[in-house]
Structure 1
Amino acid sequence: MWQKSPNHQNLSEEEERNALRKAPSLRFRFILAGVLVIGVIAGVAVNLVFDYSQKLADLSYDRLLRSALLQMDENVGLIGNEVSIDIPWSAFATLAQADEDRVFYKVESVEQGFITGYRDLNSEPPKKPVLDEIQFYNREYSGEMVRFAWVERHLTDPETAQTVRIILGQTRLSREEMASSVTQRAIEIVLLIALVAITLIVIGSHLVLRPLHRIERALEERAMGDLTPIDINTPKETHHLKVAINHFMVRLQRNLEQLENYTADAAHQLRTPLASLRALAENARDNITTGEISSEPISSDILSSNSVSSKKHHQDLENIVIQCDTLSQTITLLLNQAVVSHRLQTHHLESVNLLEPIRASCREQAVTALHQGILLSLDCELQSAFVLGDSFSIQQMMQNLIENAVRYSGSDREHASEIIVQVNEFDHFYRIKVIDYGDGIPDIEKERVFERFYRGRYDIAGSGVGLAMVKDIVDHHSARILILDNEPQGTTFQVDFAKFKTDEASA
C-alpha cells in the first residue's frame, strides 16, 4: 500500500543545499576521529621524547661531571692526620666544555668538617649515602637549578682514618639547550609524520567512501524509470546497503506494475459502460426521430405538445452522446499520457526520423479534420530529419497539437478552413510548425495553456490535458516550443528539435 511522505513536495535547490549543509558528514567524522587519535599519539610521543631528551642530556653531561669528580677524588689524601686536597686543573677543564655553565664544589670531612669550596652548599644527597657510590641529583642553589654529583669514601693510614665527602655541581644551561634541541627535532619529525598520517587518512576516507559514490553515480546515471537491481562490485560493508536498495526497487517495481494494471483495468471498466451508454442514447435518439406514428386520431394541440417534447428529448440524448464521446476521448488521452510518461522514464532516447511520427499523426487526424470541413496538409520537402528522441512520444505530441488546432478551428469561419504542418531544416535544428486560422490564443493565456486541466474556452469540447503532455514531451527532448500569432488570425505552435549528429553520439 502506498504511504504518503510527510514532505511530499519536491525540495527546491536552495532547500537541498541547506539540508546538505545541515546533514552530518561521515567523511568529516572519519577524518576527525583519525585526527584526534593521531593528536593523542603525537602528544604522548612528544611527552616521551621530552623525557628522553632530558635523560639523554643528563646522561651525556653526567659523564663529564663523573670524570671531574673522580679526578678531584684522586687528589684527596691524609697529611699529618688531616685531609688535604689539591684540585687538579683538568677537572675544571673537563667541565669547561659546557662554557655557559657555572661550577660549584665542596669538600668536607665527617671528622674534620669543611675543607674547601662553597661552605653553604648542602651536602646531603636525596638518597641514603653509600660509600664509594656516586649519586647524581638536581637541587636549586644560588637561584639556579644545579646538577650535583656526590661521593663519600674512607681515607685510612697507619695513624688515623677519616670519611671524606666531595660534592661537585654544574648548572643545567647546556643540558637544557641540548634537551631542547633534541625535543625540537623530534617534534618536527612527529609533526611531519602526523601530517603524512592525516593526509593518508583524508585519501583513505575518499577510498573508503568510494563504493557509496559508485552506488550514487549508478543511480544518478539511470533513466528515471529504471528499477533494475544494482549490479556493481562493492565491499562487504556496503553490500547490505546495495541489497537493501535492490529489495526496495523490487518492491517499488511491483507497486508500479500493480498501479499500471489497475489503471488499465479502470480504463477498460470505464470504456465499457461508456460505450453501452452511448449506444443506448443513440438508439433512444433514433427511436424518437423515426418513432412510429399512432393510427388513432390525435388533436393538433396534443400533436404540437408531443413534437416539442420529442425535440427536447432528442437534444438531451444528443448531448449525452457528445459527453460520452468527450469522456471517452479524455480517458484515451489520459491513458496515452500515462504511456508516454512511462516511456519517457524507462526508454532511452535514440536516433529517430522526425518525419515518420509527423506523417503518421497527419494521416490519423486527416479524417477528423475533413469531418469538420478543415483541410489538413503537410508542407515538407525533406527526405529525412534525424533527432535524438522517442518516436511514440513525438507522435503523441503531434497528434495533440493537430487535434488542438482542429478543435479550435471551424468550417463556418472565412480563414479557418485549413491547417498546415510545416517541417523546415536549419543549421543546428529542425523546426515544426502547426498553423491554424482559428480564433487564436490571447497573450494572457499563452503562459497557462500548458497547465494541466486548464482550458481557455469551455464551450468547446476538451480535457485540458493534451498541451500539458506536449510540454512534458518537449521538455524531455530538450526541445523548445513557442506560441505565435498568425495573420489575419489564428495560432502557430512552433517546436524546435536539435539535430542528431552521429559523430557526437559515437563520441
Structure 2
Amino acid sequence: MWQKSLDHQNLSEEEEKRALAKAPSLRFRFILAGVLVIGIIAGLAINLIFDYSQKLADLSYDRLLRSALLQIDENVSLIRNEVSIDIPWSAFATLAQADEDRVFYKVESLEQGFITGYQDLNSTPPKPPVLDQIQFYNQEYSGELVRFAWLERSLTDPETSQTVRIVLGQTRLSREAMSTAVTQRAVEVVVFIALVALTLIAIGSHLVLQPLHRIERALEERAMGDLTPLDINTPKETHHLKVAINHFMARLQTNLEQLENYTADAAHQLRTPLASLKALAENARDNTSADSSSPQAQQQALENIVKQCDALSQTVTLLLNQAVVSHRLQTHRLEPTSLLEPIRASCRAQAVTALHQGVQLSLDCDLSDAVVLGDSFSIQQMMQNLIENAVRYSSLGMNNATEVIVQVSEFERFYRIRVIDYGNGIPDIEKSRVFERFYRGRYDIAGSGVGLAMVKDIVDHHSARIEILDTYPKGTTFQVDFAKFMFDEDTV
C-alpha cells in the first residue's frame, strides 16, 4: 500500500512537472509584450530619425547651394540686349567644401537660349516656376541623384527685357554621409535606451509577480484543512485575486461543513433504525426458539421487521436525495424551468402512499404554465418533503379520512404554492423551529427531522419565501412564493 502511494506521488510530481513545462509563462508574456512595444517605438523612432537626418543634411547643404546660386545670379547682367555672365570662382569654392561631390550648372535665356554650363542639363523643377523664387529638388542626371537649385528671374534695361534661368546641381554623396553619421549615432542611442528599458522590464516583471509568489507561499505554508481567509497586503491588481481565493475557500469551507453535517445526518439517521432492526430481529429469534412461540407472534415480529426495513429504506432514500440536492445547489446554475412539472410529479408520486395512510391528496391548479428561475429536481424534492410531512401529520386511518390540498396560484410578480393539511397543526411556539435540523414536534410519528431543513435550504437557494400558516378550522398550511421569471423581449 505504501509503495503504491509513493509511486502515485512520484507520478503526480512528474505530471506536475510536465504540466509546468507546457504552461505559458506570465513573465515571458510580460517581457514579450514589452519587447514588442519597445521594438515598435524604436522602429518608429529610427524611421523618424532617418527622415530628420535627411532633412538636416539637405538643410545644411542647401544653404551652401543657395549661396553659390546667388553668387552666380549676381554676376548675370544685360548688356546691349544680350545676357552676359561672369561665373565667380567663389561660388564653386563654396560648394568645394563637399570635396567628394560634383557640381553641374547651366545658365540660359528663354529668348537668347543656352549661355554657359552643361548644355544637356535639361532639369525642370516639379512645381510650376515662380520668378525670383529658388526651388530645391532631387533629380537623376548623369547616372547620379543630384540635388538641384533652380532660379528664374527677369533682366530689364531701357530697351529690352529677358528671362534668365539658372540651374545649379550638386551630387548627394556628402549629404548621404552626413545623414548616415547622424542616423548611426541616433540609432546607437535608441538601441541603448531600448536595452536599458528591456532590462528594467525584466527586473520589473520579477517585482510585479512578487505578490503572486507571496500568495503562493502563504497557501503552501498553511496546514492541511486551514481555510481561513488570506490576510496579506497585496497591490490593487492582485487584490481581486486574493478576494476570489478567499471566497473560494469560504465556499469550500461551507462545502466541508455541509459534508460533515451530511455525514452526521447519515450516522444519526441510520444508527437508530439499524439498532431497532437488530433488536426486532433478536426478539424474533428469541421468540422462535421459545416453545411458547405462536404463528401470530412470529408474524407480528416479521411485520415489525418489514416496517423497520421500510423506514430504513426511506431514510436512506432521503439521505441520498439530500446529498443530490446539496450537490445540485452548489454546482448547477438556476435556469428558466416550469414550476408545474415538479409539483405534478410530486403529487403523482405521493398519491398512492397518501391513500394507504387514509389521506386524500388533491392538486388545485388552473394555470397552463408557470416559469421560474430554478432547478426542477430540487423543487420536486421540496414539494415531496412538504407533501410527505402534510400526509404524515394528517393520517388518522381509513375510518377518519382527511385530505391534503396542493394549491398553485398566480400573482402579478410571483407564484404561490400552498400545501394545506387538516391535521392537529403546529403550535405557534414551535413554528420557528420546524426548519431546524433533527427537530421533531412529535416523536410518536415516524420521521427524520431532516426533510423540512432541506426544504428551507432549497427555498433560500431559489430566493423564495416560505411561511407557516394555520389552516381553518385546524391544521397547517406551508406557503411558498416563487418569483416569476421575466423574459427579456430584446433577447427573445
Q: For 1:113-192, list aligned pairs within 5 A.
A: 113-192=113-192
Shift of 1:81: 2.3
Q: CA deviation at 1:98?
A: 0.3
Q: Which residue of 2 aligns with 1:475?
A: none
Alpha-carbon RMSD across the aligned residues, in angstroms, is 3.2
- Is residue 2:210 matched to residue 1:210? yes
Residue 12 of structure 1 aligns to a residue whose secondary structure is helix
- Deviation of the 1:202 alpha carbon: 2.4
Tell me how far 1:257 sits from its aligned partner.
Answer: 3.5
Q: Offset of 1:265 from its aligned partner?
A: 6.7
Deviations 1:452-472 (A, max 9, x none): xxxxxxxxxxxxxxxxxxxxx
| C-alpha distance in structure 1 between counterparts of 2:246 and 2:275, whole Å | 42
* Correspondence list, 1:30-429, <5 A: 30-260=30-260
* In structure 1, distance between residues paired with 2:241 and 2:123: 75
Q: Quick one: structure 1 residues 68 and 256, their matched pair in 2 at CA, closer, same or farther if it must change by over 3 Å?
A: same
Structure 2 distance, partners of 1:237, 1:40, is 26
What one-letter code is carried by the residue in structure 2 that aligns with 1:203? Answer: I
* CA-to-aligned-CA distance 1:15-52 (integer Å, 9 cap, x gap): 11221222223332222222222222221111111111
**Structure 1 segments of 4 or more deviating over 4 A?**
8-11, 260-278
Deviation of 1:269 after TM superposition, in Å, equals 7.8
Shift of the 96–264 alpha-carbon distance from structure 1 to 2, 3 Å rule, reads: same
**Counterpart Cα distance in 2 of 1:193 and 1:144:** 37
Instruction: Tell me the SS of whatever aligns to 1:240.
Output: helix
- TM-score normalised by structure 1 residue count: 0.50
How far off its partner does 1:193 sit?
1.9
Match of 2:99, SS state, is coil
Aligned-partner SS, 1:68: helix
Q: Which residue identity is paired with 1:116?
A: T
Q: Secondary structure at the match of 2:125?
A: coil
Q: Which one-letter code corresponds to 1:85 in the other structure?
A: I
How far residue 266 of structure 1 moved from its aligned partner, in angstroms, is 6.1
- In the alignment, the residues of structure 2 paired with residue 66 and residue 197 of structure 1 have an alpha-carbon distance, to the nearest angstrom, of 43
Structure 2 runs not aligned, ≥5 long: 1-7, 291-492
Q: Distance in 1 between matches of 2:158 and 2:267?
A: 134
3-state SS, counterpart of residue 239 of structure 1: helix
How far did 1:277 drift?
6.9
CA displacement at 1:75 relative to structure 2: 1.1
What's the CA shift for 1:271?
Answer: 8.2
Secondary structure of the corresponding residue to residue 228 of structure 2: coil
Residue 209 of structure 2 aligns to a residue whose secondary structure is helix
1:151 Cα deviation after fit: 0.8
> Cα distance 1:242–1:191, how it changes in 2: closer, same or farther (>3 A)?
same
CA distance in 2: counterparts of 1:166 and 1:261, whole angstroms: 104
| Residues 1:104 and 1:275: Cα distance change in structure 2 (over 3 Å) | same
Deviations, residues 358-407 of structure 1 (Å, cap 9, x unaligned): xxxxxxxxxxxxxxxxxxxxxxxxxxxxxxxxxxxxxxxxxxxxxxxxxx
Residue 354 of structure 1 is matched in structure 2 by none
1-structure distance, mates of 2:131, 2:268: 115
Deviation of 1:222 after TM superposition, in Å, equals: 0.9
Quote the Cα distance in structure 1 between the aligned partners of 2:271 and 2:184.
89
Instruction: Give the aligned residue type for 2:198.
Output: I
Match of 2:473 in 1: none
Read off the aligned partner of 2:21 and give its amino acid letter: R
